[in-house]
Structure 1
Amino acid sequence: MTDTMDERLAQKFAATGFIEQTPIQKAVFEPLVTGQSIDALAPTGTGKTLAFTWPLLPLLQPNDGEQLLILAPSQELAMQTTRVVREWAQGFDLKVLALTGGANVKNQLDRLKKHPEILVGTPGRVGELAASKKLKLQRLRTLILDEADILLQDETADQIQNVWELFGDEDIQVAMFGATAVINQRAQTIFRREFTRIDLRDVQMPTSLQHQFVLTANDQKNKRLRQLATRKGWQAMVFFNTTKALKQTASFLAHEHVAMATLVRGDSSRTRASALEAFRNGQAKFLLTTDVAARGLDVIDLPAVINYDLPRDGETYTHRAGRTGRMGRTGKVVTFGNDHDLRDLKRMVQVEIDVLPWQQIVEQSERAKSKTPAYGKNGWERTKPQAVPKKSNVKAQTAKLTQEQDLDKPRAKQRSTWTIGAPVTEPVKKSERLAKEKKAKRRNQKDKGKPKHKLGRELGKRNLNGRDN
């Protein structure tokens, strides 16, 4: 732990269970404390959020207005950062407010009136409030750009430049953080300054990250996901290149009653928050997402990442892989594809990639969490079927959904599987439905011409006996 760390931070540092700071946390501590503008680069999962949180909190003055602004490229990353910063800011009597698009702007404006010292937001909402003069940043001391390479591109960069032109000042500290370098010229043009680069991308965290490739035809990828969904103690973030492909797979998995959630740009903030919460709590086996939507997200101890689609470049692969094996933990990166995809992947990234048969992936996933509890409270695990005697009139419930059914036996109670929201039942097989319809038809023919009601049958009997005429 750094000797210059504030005592309040040091106490919480020890109480939280940290042993020592990561390389990036050590490297940026002094530059941030002394007010330098920096461009900090480090691999994903090395604790960059805490790297800029720890040095800056002791410098902020309670009840002195908005002093620190942190910008993130997505609502999810902004909310994640808000939670982390708020946890550490409590010991300094500092207020933290999230300003993200998709959330209720009236509530945000009401909380702005309390003048929180720390703001965490997305460029769109911050720019909107600044342009309408609802957000005033005259007391701003530090601007943090988290995932700066994404923020300083295209329309988002224009939004940041507009905000800076309203409140920017040469005395305001600007710090950029990310795993991928930004275009220096764009940053210098917007903020009109030079940045001190701190590049620790070659200093890797100790981790046990395995890179695996499974030869898979395009029409077999959904089937592979369904098979992995039956494994206990195993979750994965599944990456797609397009929202269209994501939604097609989501529809397939929903039909197969696989517990999963989707994280897609364009969905409401509440829907996206619910999806993330379900995944973090273990209610969802898979989180289907795209690269932009999941940029920078942290899911504690996530066992695996699956590349449903081959990443477009090496940087994209690095960011996807960074969702697992974070802060020195173990993790797997599994990629689906054909021979051409494998050759392209080897050209993209300079890591050792194991080409494994499908059965070995399945066996590894079964052993992945054998020594630790499963995520959540078994929210997405299927309960083992109860053993049923062979001579029983109840259909044996087994894990093999392809087992043949004896149509002469009555159908067992339908088994429920978990999806996000409510339990649903598996559809009745077509052969069984036809058998029931045929049986009902024979019964109707046998009873044809007979009175339907009990009273009618009784009156009919009396008429046949010649009574009550």
Structure 2
Amino acid sequence: MRSEFEEKLQASGFTELTPIQKAVYEPLKSGASIDALAPTGTGKTLAFTWPLLENVAADDGEQILVLAPSQELAMQTTHVMREWASLLGFKVLSLTGGANIKNQLDRLKKHPEILVGTPGRVVELLNNGKLKLGRLRSFVLDEADELLKDDTAKQVDVIWDYIDDPDMQVALFGATEVDTTVAAGLFDREFERIDQRDVPMPTQIQHEFWLTASDQRNKRLRQLASQKKMQAMVFFNTTKQLKMTANFLAHEHIGMATLVRGDSSSTRERAMRSFKNGDAKFLLTTDVGARGLDVPDLPIVINFDLPRDGETYTHRSGRTGRMGKAGLVITFGNDHDARDLKRMVAVDIEVVKGRPRLLDGEKQTSRKSNTRSARPATKATAPKQKQVQASSEIDDAPIEKVRKQKTAKAKPTETTMSREDRFKKEKKAKRKHKKDKGRPKKKA
């Protein structure tokens, strides 16, 4: 590894590379075409950044092209690669849709060594003759399984037609396996498979399923928002439901941001910045936000809607607990949804009935790791839930109020008065205000 990289790693407190970073270093540096697989949150961006940058020549035009499936992931990858490329004096340019194309064209004239883009914008620039790839040496597909699907795969095919170099290094990266026949047919080569998905990495992600009626899910978010240090990415299956929940939270004056496909690049960038800065408690998004996004120390991921499949659940969950840090994944739904989810994924999920234990920001970080993932939750092992209400209605009281209700003795107020006594009191009040018709009032 370059001495500049080693010095920065030491200054940053890195003690050891992750399994995927170790496994791909030499193959990428030697120019091999690889198909690399590793769990989410294991540092795949740095895994291809370090070795590829070592082969770049300064002021020799565009030599690395990295494709990402979303604007957010492309911008994130740009920031990471720029941080390390600047140590060697290299330039990195982001080519994403929704951004100002004139600024991108002006910066292209400076011939940056590294390009990071989304397929649509790269195709646009190629077709208009504004982008030349004659000096390209390495072509990376980040989240390759997503890029090689449907219309996006057609755009990748167009880009490859402009390259079409048998000596080009092609690197596929992701957490989900790519259809090898599609990749081999498109790029006309065999890939060296480097699979690090089964290599154990420390994990402290806990999975819970909160039984919640459909019409109570917004209130559940309001309940969570009342807690200190609460921050979560909230995933929806449809933009329609996302906007309905956004309107509810806005009416409740709860800080939140939305990340949806179709918004301008600047709007989506502001949403991410607001969430990362802590100004928003919730980032509401569809599965456009499930791929590769890195929010440092994100404590919670919430599935407002049940993911459509196990792969989607895996990618959503990967936004928390990154690089071995603590995280919690909460899914809302009914009994039927809970059964479906358990069939989808191979992780232990605790089903929480009644009103779930409120999550205290300070206590959450100190909870024992892997206590639920190590074994299935049973009646003997699952924490007991004190059911305050017999119905499924959500108590939206703040956490401080809930504690007081549990500890304070009940006072003889209207809420604790028996039904019969309350009716007697109301009847007496009516008689008190009844007009006197000359007959003496009966004693209560």
Instruction: Give the TM-score, by structure 2 length.
Output: 0.81
Of 356, 362, 369 in structure 1, the residue corresponding to residue 352 of structure 2 is 356
Please show how residues 144-159 of structure 1 align to structure 2 within 5 Å: 144-159=140-155
Q: Distance in 2 between matches of 1:142 and 1:363?
A: 46
Q: Does 1:83 align with 2:99?
A: no
Q: Distance in 2 between matches of 1:204 and 1:118?
A: 32
1:385-418, CA deviations, whole angstroms, 9 ceiling, x for partnerless residues?
Answer: xxxxxxxxxxxxxxx989xxxxxxxxxxxxxxxx
8 A contact 1:243–1:290 mirrored in 2:
yes
8 A contact 2:223–2:397 mirrored in 1:
no
How many residues of Structure 1 are paired with residues of Structure 2 in the alignment? 370
Q: Distance in 1 between matches of 2:257 and 2:194?
A: 37
SS at match of 1:145: strand
Of 305, 308, 311 in structure 2, the residue corresponding to residue 315 of structure 1 is 311
Identity of aligned residues (%): 67
SS at match of 1:182: coil
Please show how residues 55-204 of structure 1 align to structure 2 within 5 Å: 55-204=51-200
Pairwise CA distance, 1:360? 4.0
Q: Does 1:236 align with 2:232?
A: yes
SS at match of 1:174: strand
Q: Which structure would you say has the larger Rg? A: 1
| Residue in structure 1 matched with residue 218 of structure 2 by the alignment | 222
Pairwise CA distance, 1:17? 1.3
Q: Does 1:333 align with 2:329?
A: yes
Pairwise CA distance, 1:293? 3.5
Range moving further from structure 2, 165-174 or 214-223: 165-174
Pairwise CA distance, 1:15? 1.0
8 A contact 2:234–2:283 mirrored in 1:
yes
SS at match of 1:25: helix
Pairwise CA distance, 1:357? 4.0
Q: Distance in 2 between matches of 1:266 and 1:46?
A: 29
Pairwise CA distance, 1:188? 1.2
One-letter code of the match for 1:313?
D
One-letter code of the match for 1:65?
G
Q: Distance in 1 between matches of 2:3 and 2:354?
A: 52
1:391-448, CA deviations, whole angstroms, 9 ceiling, x for partnerless residues?
Answer: xxxxxxxxx989xxxxxxxxxxxxxxxxxxxxxxxxxxxxxxxxxxxxxxxxxxxxxx
Q: What 5-or-longer segments of structure 1 have no aligned partner?
A: 372-399, 403-469
Q: What 5-or-longer segments of structure 2 have no aligned partner?
A: 368-395, 399-444
Q: Distance in 2 between matches of 1:160 and 1:306?
A: 32
Pairwise CA distance, 1:358? 5.7
Q: Does 1:299 align with 2:295?
A: yes
SS at match of 2:229: coil
Q: Distance in 1 between matches of 2:340 and 2:355?
A: 24
| Residue in structure 2 matched with residue 421 of structure 1 by the alignment | none
Pairwise CA distance, 1:294? 3.5
SS at match of 1:59: coil
One-letter code of the match for 1:251?
N
Residues 363 and 134 (structure 1 numbering): CA distance in 2 closer, same or farther, change over 3 Å? closer
8 A contact 1:43–1:204 mirrored in 2:
no
Q: Distance in 1 between matches of 2:130 and 2:101?
A: 11
* Cα root mean square deviation, aligned: 1.5
1:304-362, CA deviations, whole angstroms, 9 ceiling, x for partnerless residues?
Answer: 00000001111100000000000010000000010000000110011111122464441
SS at match of 1:114: coil
8 A contact 2:210–2:356 mirrored in 1:
no
SS at match of 1:350: coil
